[in-house]
Structure 1
Amino acid sequence: MTDIKATVFIPTYYGEDNLDELFTALSTQKVGFEYEILVIDTSSKDRTPEIIKSWEPKFKHFRYETITKPEFSHGRVRQQAAEKARGEYVVYLTQDATPAHDRWLYEIIQPLERFPQVVGVMGKQDPRTTALPLLKEEIIRTFKQFGPDFGTTLFYEDDFIDSQQLFDLVTFYSDVNSAARKSVLLGDVPYQDIPYAEDQKFGEDLIRHGYMKAYAPRANVWHTNEIKLRDYKKRMFDEIVGVRRVGKTMDPISILFVIKQVIRAVTLGSLFILKDHQYTWKRKLYWLALNPLFVIEKWKGVRAAIAVDLDDEQTIVKQSLESNEAIAHGKQ
């Protein structure tokens, strides 16, 4: 039987827009080892199953399963992937994250190969060229703080961590583009069965267990959550409620703070748009008008998520984008 070193896992749900691009990138990876593709689809009714099946014969090792919406949670399905994986390493992607080059898979597992104490690896995310400026700026700023593009950064717990803010940075984790040891996922640090912010909980758990986390910027993907203005408040609501449910505390957001953020969007945000050579002039004008509105919706969602009672499930479902998308797709 062929030894498989890495299992690349992709959970899908109405993912027809990006899957061909994603599988094309995965099929061109240059590595000196065997890897498999594992896809678990949550009963998509668009072209997602058709696209997945069309790619199955193009890979040497490819498995595809379907689950129902009630069976899905972000944490549960990722842990199930670890249990099903044949590889020594489980590599996680989302359906809208596309490897940026043909050495991505090699780079994402190198810290695991070289450093025995490293349990989880977080790759870099680069915003897509057409992304919403607010998200584009946030993605660039977020990943820039973890280290230079030419190196690999290691994070661990020690007495240099003297504040909650620093602890949150050390434990920050995103499984949009990541890899972990299967042996540890099935042992000390499994993914928790939680609906949201499962990656933040995983990052915290692995650091608290005395392991190391690595940031591998050369393992970069193109990724941006495409979101409509009408949905952005609910998207942010979901994210912050998820973070609160895994134990993160957040200070209330004042109206004055929101006003300052809108002013920043009109000034510095507009300058960011004007300097971005990836936007056409027509698109720049579009974003100059729309970007401040996205900022308003973002902070409205954050404020609502901080204020909501976590035991008030009825209100949470009402304000949740994921819950409403599931209903719209006829899945609940």
Structure 2
Amino acid sequence: MTTQVQQVLVTVVIPTKNGGPLLGRVLSSVFSQQTPWAFEVLVVDSGSTDETLSVVRKYPQIRVIQIKPTDFGHGKTRNLAVAAAKGEYIAMITQDALPSSPSWLVELIKPAMEDDRVAGVFGRHIAYPESSVFTKYELEQHFAGFSRYPVIELNDRQRYASDEGYRQLLYFFSDNNALLRRSVWERIPYPEVDFAEDQAWARRIVEAGYRKAYANDAAVYHSHEYGLWERLQRSFDESYALSRLFDYKQGRGLKHAIRSWMGLTRRDLVIAKRAGLLFSCPALLLKVPINNAMRITGSYLGIHGSSLPEFLRLRLSRDRRLMRIDNWSKWT
């Protein structure tokens, strides 16, 4: 860490729970950042039972806050961390988000330092090398779209009211790899919701007149290879939360779900063909339509989650506490 000045400019916040061996690599990469200013690292641990705390304590300069598992909430815990941070800016990553280069932190803060109206910055996600070709493709395509909008703000109220796609573009924010301006957070903290707290915060800041930025060169390795049931659960949680928080209405019907499944499956078969997997990995290809069926089924059930009985929502969810929340209005 380069520290030409003593005052901390950035606090890197990492929420942890059972981070496993990957956490050591994440911390090593964070402390290898080459910056012309001082930064600190703050870990908030919510009851790890593995080697997480021993890994963290290898770095005596890390400040650690320990909370009970029952006290954790995605928005609540991040607010706790920001309140304890010393930096003017807060970089948020997760325990499985590995900075890809020593310039990650400098690139992440750059848009905010260049424009005082930028309240938050999010960076690119790269699939881990061992990830499937499908995961790599999805991440590449998803973040490629944001390169056209390096800085964005709510500048068309009429379109905002009528265009759901425009709202989705404005709301997207991922605090797996993000930076917040502390002075804005003091006015607009994270909503204390248990899912999609980052996008809920982005909605607040753009509606308040601030800008949101995307830093393509501030990349982290961050990807998941879900099993079939995990894929359904993840899709359910995401769709249920986003539907409740933002009242997204597109794609609610069964016909749309079937068309989406067919489109995803065709896309994945094309990707497999380009990668030379059509004949070399038949088992993988057999999994493709099933995986997409689980994804679409989870999303469909999540969109209609409010009408499901609680016991079924709990069964379908990976983030089970979320399913007991009947009123999200407290975040507005």
Structure 2 length-normalised TM: 0.87
Does the Cα contact within 8 Å between 1:134 and 1:294 map onto a contact in 2? no
The amino acid across from 2:20 in the alignment is E
| Structure 1 partner of 2:42 | 38
TM-score, normalised to structure 1, is 0.87
Aligned to 2:81: 81
**Alignment match, 1:8:** 12
Of 6, 22, 28, the match for 2:26: 22
Cα deviation digits, residues 5-26 of structure 1 (max 9, x gap): 1000111122204212211211
Structure 1 position 46, deviation (Å): 2.0
Could you say which residue in structure 2 is the equivalent of 1:329?
A: none
How far has the Cα of 1:229 moved from its partner? 1.7
Alignment of 1:197-236 (within 5 A): 197-236=196-235
Give the whole-Å Cα distance in 2 for the aligned partners of 1:53 and 1:290.
Answer: 42
2:317 is equivalent to residue 320 of structure 1: yes
Q: 1:100 to 1:156 in 2, by over 3 A?
A: same
Q: Which amino acid aligns with 2:292?
A: V
**Which amino acid is the alignment partner of residue 75 of structure 1?**
G
Structure 2 distance, partners of 1:127, 1:236, is 19
Given residue 290 of structure 1, which amino acid in structure 2 is its aligned partner?
K
Greater Cα shift, 214-223 or 168-177: 168-177
Kept after mapping to 1: 8 A contact 2:91/2:179: yes
Residue 225 (structure 1) shift? 2.5
Shift of 1:285: 4.3
Work out which of the residue numbers 290, 295, 301 in structure 1 matches 2:292.
295
CA distance in 2, matches of 1:256, 1:131: 31
Change (3 A) 1:99 1:312: same
In structure 2, the CA distance between the partners of 1:311 and 1:303, relative to structure 1 (3 Å rule), is: closer
Q: Within 5 Å, which residues of 2 pair with 1:238-277?
A: 238-276=237-275
Deviation (angstroms), 1:204:
0.7
What are the ranges of 5 or more consecutive residues in structure 2 without an aligned counterpart? 322-332
**Who is 2:145 aligned against?**
145
| TM-aligned CA deviation for residue 160 of structure 1 | 7.5
Q: Which amino acid in 1 is paired with 2:295?
A: K
Distance (whole Å) between structure 2 residues aligned to residue 311 and residue 274 of structure 1: 39
Cα offset, 1:252, TM superposition: 4.8
Q: 2:301: which partner in 1?
A: 304
Change (3 A) 1:78 1:312: farther
How far residue 78 of structure 1 moved from its aligned partner, in angstroms, is 1.0
Contact 1:96 1:225 in 2 (8 A): no
Go from structure 1 to structure 2 and tell me whether the alpha carbon gap of 1:17 and 1:133 turns closer, same or farther (over 3 Å shift).
farther
Q: Aligned partners of 1:314, 1:234: CA distance in 2, in Å?
A: 14
Change (3 A) 1:237 1:134: farther
> 2:265 touches 2:292 (CA, 8 Å); kept in 1?
no
Query: How many pairs were matched up?
Result: 315
Look up the match of 1:330.
Answer: none
Q: CA RMSD in A?
A: 2.5
Q: Percent identity?
A: 27
Moved over 6 A (4+): none
Deviation at 1:313?
4.2
- SS of 2:47's equivalent in the other structure is coil
Give the whole-Å Cα distance in 1 for the aligned partners of 2:103 and 2:307.
42
Render the CA deviation track for 1:255-278: whole Å, top value 9, x for unaligned.
44344344334432122134348x
AA matched with 1:95:
Q
Q: Secondary structure at the match of 1:220?
A: strand
Looking at structure 2, the residues matched to 12 and 97 of structure 1 have their Cα atoms a distance apart, in angstroms, of 11
SS in structure 1 opposite 2:137?
Answer: helix
Name whichever of 232-241 and 303-312 sits farther off.
303-312
Q: Per-residue deviation at 1:311?
A: 8.9
* Deviation (angstroms), 1:320: 1.0
Deviation at 1:73, TM superposition (A): 0.8
Q: Report the counterpart of residue 191 of structure 2 in structure 1.
A: 192
* Matched-pair contact (CA < 8 Å) for 2:240–2:304: no
1:82-97 residue pairs with structure 2 within 5 A?
82-97=82-97
Q: Deviations over 1:16-55 (max 9, x none)?
A: 042122112112111111111111111121222222223x
Amino acid in structure 2 at the alignment position of 1:140:
E
Gap change, CA 1:79 and 1:208, over 3 Å in 2: same
Shift of 1:161: 6.3
Letter of the 1:108 counterpart:
L
- Aligned residue in 1 for 2:329: none
Mapped contact 1:43–1:69 kept (Cα < 8 A): yes
SS in structure 2 at match of 1:146: helix
**Equivalent-residue separation in structure 1 for 2:291 and 2:21 (angstroms):** 23
Unaligned runs of 5+ in 1: 325-332
- Aligned residue number for residue 112 of structure 2: 112
SS in 2 for 1:147: helix
Matched to 1:40, the amino acid is V
What is the SS of the residue equivalent to 1:321? coil
Q: What is the match of residue 327 of structure 1? A: none
Query: Which residue identity lines up with residue 241 of structure 1 in the other structure?
Result: Y
Contact residue 74 and residue 194 of structure 2 kept, 8 A: yes
